[in-house]
Structure 1
């Protein structure tokens, strides 16, 4: 039998933070502020508009200016989401190797479909992917288990034959709630204050080139 390896997108498969940070800084420019350093914005890239606008402008949901700024952020990001985004080192080879071994892979992200698809297509990930689940595909997003359960079902696998890889606590929580072992991608958009050891992932990959060695021991026993 085969297995399904599921990946988060931003900060796990693809380095999308430069384009996300650029959209956040565009909101600062619109308000007459100087751009922030990329290093300050990168750790919250996986949190999307909510995290980026909090760090870039101190805005939180419920603030009077939050919603119009969020909509402008999304518009600016959609217009420039493939300028600097790219796969992390070794990811293209990893995905090819997964297929060569007779395994399947897919993507489960909290990013909504209209923002995800252009980048996934730009990075040529649609041809070999067994499934793509976005933040608006199911009624709930991570850390709820439903997106991962839906991905497994759509790809034709039981959750017991799946592994999930992600760079956020929500990814690990979703995997465990769905009944899947999880790999924490420590090379992703992890802040200095994040203690990955408390996430209770089965294992951790400190670079994208270490992913296979982290994933392989978590595969069903008949495949090891």
Structure 2
């Protein structure tokens, strides 16, 4: 599929449209301090902790209390939401796609409550998306294709007229299993060397490069 002409552009959220690293770290610190009386991060967690889902992190830290910790995380995330940042140019990219008659959608492994919080803080209206798929919508998570396939269905799209954009290996794998190409971005949680070997259609290092790959020119005055 030619990314510059694809009518449907499906986006990941964390690390693709919004930078949630500070908000996630804040939430973890609150949970570890209030529930475990420990500092975050513990020494046994892998370096890619911020690319992991919270439920996976808590399963590694305290398997017996993982559910309790995850509930505490969900309670604390809104208190840290002011740390969510929109990647510069992302809102303009969404608006420009719509202005050209193309249809952006959102497919994320994140839960709906935190997804809506992130979008609100970032100033992106959920109504701008033709479809939104979150963790509650499918049993499977990316890299399984189910979330993306549901996104295509809800948007009324065919894989042959769609492209996926994400920052992780799971995004490339899920897109390919859905019959789509993926544009990878490296300004999120993963580096180019973790992505290039999986064969994405293209790799963008910032929103300006992503916009060019999608055939969109950022509006004047918007930085990369």
- TM-score normalised by structure 2 residue count: 0.81
**1:27 maps to which residue?**
31
The yes-or-no answer on 1:208 pairing with 2:207 is yes
User: Residues of 1 paired with 2:10 and 2:168: CA distance?
Assistant: 14
User: Residues of 2 paired with 1:105 and 1:164: CA distance?
Assistant: 10
Aligned length: 208
**1:152 maps to which residue?**
152
User: Residues of 2 paired with 1:44 and 1:132: CA distance?
Assistant: 25
Give the C-alpha shift of residue 115 in structure 1: 2.2
The yes-or-no answer on 1:167 pairing with 2:170 is no
Any conservation in 2 of the 1:108–1:133 contact (CA below 8 Å)?
Answer: yes
**2:135 maps to which residue?**
135
3-state SS, counterpart of residue 80 of structure 1: helix
User: Residues of 2 paired with 1:129 and 1:197: CA distance?
Assistant: 28
**2:94 maps to which residue?**
95
**1:1-224 counterparts in 2 under 5 A?**
3-30=7-34, 31-36=36-41, 43-50=48-55, 52-53=57-58, 59=61, 63-77=63-77, 79-122=78-121, 123-190=123-190, 195-216=194-215
User: Which segments of 5 or more consecutive residues in structure 2 lack a partner in the other structure?
Assistant: 217-224
What RMSD in Å do the two structures reach over aligned CA positions? 2.7
User: Residues of 1 paired with 2:69 and 2:179: CA distance?
Assistant: 38
User: Which segments of 5 or more consecutive residues in structure 1 lack a partner in the other structure?
Assistant: 218-224
Cα deviation, 1:23-61, whole Å, max 9, x if unaligned, reads 111123223334559xx999533422145547xxx616x
